[in-house]
Amino acid sequence: MNLPTPVRELRPGLWVKDEGRVHDRYGGNKVRKLAHLLADAEARGATDLVTAGALGSHHVLATALLGAEHGLRTHAVLVPQPDTEHVRHQLARILAACASVTRVGGSLGAAVALRTVRARLAASGRIPYAIPVGGSSPVGVEGWIDGALELCGQIARGELPRPERIVVALGSGGTSAGLIAGLALGGMPVPVLAVRVAPRWLAHRGRVLALAGAALRRRGARVVPGPLVVDPGWLGAGYGCSDPRLDVIVDQGRELGLPLEPTYTAKAFGACLASATNHGPVLFLQTASAIRIRTADRSPDGRG
Ligand SMILES: Cc1ncc(COP(=O)(O)O)c(C=O)c1O
């Protein structure tokens, strides 16, 4: 991993911590979670990874690419999401990088397919390791406790001022959970504004707090997670659905040298701009990968 990830001031009072190139193979917020998840999979002797996501899932692609570096094959179960150029681009790379892909109609079908894939692998003598949607288990969340502690170090060294709040996209919740846990552990409980871009059953405050607590317990840490505010105003018609505000936000990001994708980061950055006040600096967490993936990047037994 390329750590620490850089921090810079986009314009007065608006800072970014950029995860885009945290790994040479694939960037974004999934990488820190996968560092812990893949170590756990290896410790358990796994041969294959089984996970789920939407058709354009960054998590599924990151799992397949980084899992391959550990000799692990990835089996993905994919649920629909609105069709965009970005989603098609991601899907082509997922198909190339995964050992198998099962497309289902929704979350119920996904639960059944995940069980079936795991059973099929076990029956053929393989050892499957299940990774939850978004890599957001207490093990994965530890990666973002590391990320938050890294940020505390950068603030302590004066690389950026202590922000008045941190703004991040909220999907499966692991990134926000690790942030509120790690900031408390680092003695800097800065409030986190988590911008909900996924349905409420997946992305809600209770889930984030439960994940943060579970990850802290794994570390044997007896601190209370820092403050969390969930902004529900950016989901629009649903996960991955476009929003008339996004084009302007993407342009604003581009002018500031911040590339944004429509599903997560454009919505979170929109909330970041809307929430900016004169009370103090705001930090935006750039969670999308800035690494361009070729479809030729395959897993050990990749299809495609
Ligand atoms: C680019 C991007 N940003 C943010 C998130 C949200 O992170 P989390 O699922 O940990 O809430 C995701 C999750 O898929 C993502 O792909």
For 79-102, write each residue's pLDDT tens digit: 999 999 989 999 999 999 999 999
pLDDT category at 294 given cuts 50, 70, 90 is: low
pLDDT digits (tens, 9 = 90+) for 29-82: 999 999 999 999 999 999 999 999 999 999 999 999 999 999 999 999 999 999
Q: Residue 4: is the preceding peptide bond cis (ω within 30°)?
A: yes
Buried b (16+ CB within 10 A) or exposed e, 140-150: bbbbbbbbbbb
Cα distance between residue 241 and residue 263, in whole Å: 7
Share of the chain above pLDDT 70, in %: 95
Contact yes or no for 178/149 (Cβ under 8 A): no
Query: Residue 13: left (phi > 0), alpha (psi -120 to 50), or beta?
Result: left
Contact yes or no for 153/188 (Cβ under 8 A): no
pLDDT category at 297 given cuts 50, 70, 90 is: low
**Residue 144 near ligand 1, beta carbon < 6 Å:** no
Give me the pLDDT at residue 295, please.
Answer: 57
Give me the pLDDT at residue 243, please.
Answer: 86
Ligand 1 atom closest to residue 133's alpha carbon, by position in its atom list: 9
**Residue 172 near ligand 1, beta carbon < 6 Å:** yes
Give me the pLDDT at residue 251, please.
Answer: 96
**Residue 137 near ligand 1, beta carbon < 6 Å:** no
- Residue spans of the domains in the chain: they are 7-29+137-286, 31-134
Instruction: State the amino acid at position 65 in one-letter form.
Output: L
Cα distance between residue 24 and residue 184, in whole Å: 30
Rg, the chain, Cα only: 18
Local structure of 156: helix, strand or coil: helix
Residue with the smallest CA separation from ligand 1 atom 13 is 171
Share of the chain above pLDDT 90, in %: 91
Contact yes or no for 223/184 (Cβ under 8 A): yes
Give me the pLDDT at residue 301, please.
Answer: 44
Give me the pLDDT at residue 296, please.
Answer: 52
Q: Give the pair of three-digit tokens for residue 215.
A: 């990850």
Local structure of 294: helix, strand or coil: coil
Mean pLDDT confidence for 115-127 = 98
Distance 271 CA to ligand 1 centre (A): 15
**Residue 51 near ligand 1, beta carbon < 6 Å:** no
Q: Let me know how long the chain is.
A: 304
Q: Are domains 7-29+137-286 and 31-134 of this chain identical in fold?
A: yes
Q: Is 186 exposed, middle or buried (0-12, 13-18, 19+ CB in 10 A)?
A: buried
Kindly report the number of other CB atoms within 10 A of residue 157's CB atom.
Answer: 9
Task: Return phi, psi of residue 129, to 5°.
Answer: -120, 120
Distance 124 CA to ligand 1 centre (A): 33
- The residue whose CB lies within 8 Å of the most ligand 1 atoms, and thus the one to mutate among 58, 66, 286, 291, is 58
- The residue whose CB lies within 8 Å of the most ligand 1 atoms, and thus the one to mutate among 21, 175, 208, 234, is 175
Q: Give the pair of three-digit tokens for residue 105.
A: 């109609």
Distance 134 CA to ligand 1 centre (A): 7
How far, rounded to the nearest angstrom, does the alpha carbon of residue 237 sit from its chain's CA centroid? 21
Cα distance between residue 163 and residue 155, in whole Å: 9
Task: Quote the pTM value.
Answer: 0.95
What residues have CB less than 8 Å from 231, skipping those under 6 apart? 193, 194, 195, 196, 271, 275
**Residue 286 near ligand 1, beta carbon < 6 Å:** no
Architecture of domain 31-134: 3-Layer(aba) Sandwich (3.40)
Give me the pLDDT at residue 37, please.
Answer: 98
- The residue whose CB lies within 8 Å of the most ligand 1 atoms, and thus the one to mutate among 141, 205, 287, is 287
Q: Measure the N-to-C terminal CA separation of the chain; round to a whole number of Å.
A: 27
**Residue 299 near ligand 1, beta carbon < 6 Å:** no
Mean pLDDT confidence for 101-120 = 97
Q: CATH code for 7-29+137-286?
A: 3.40.50.1100
**Residue 81 near ligand 1, beta carbon < 6 Å:** no
Q: Give the pair of three-digit tokens for residue 112.
A: 């059944």
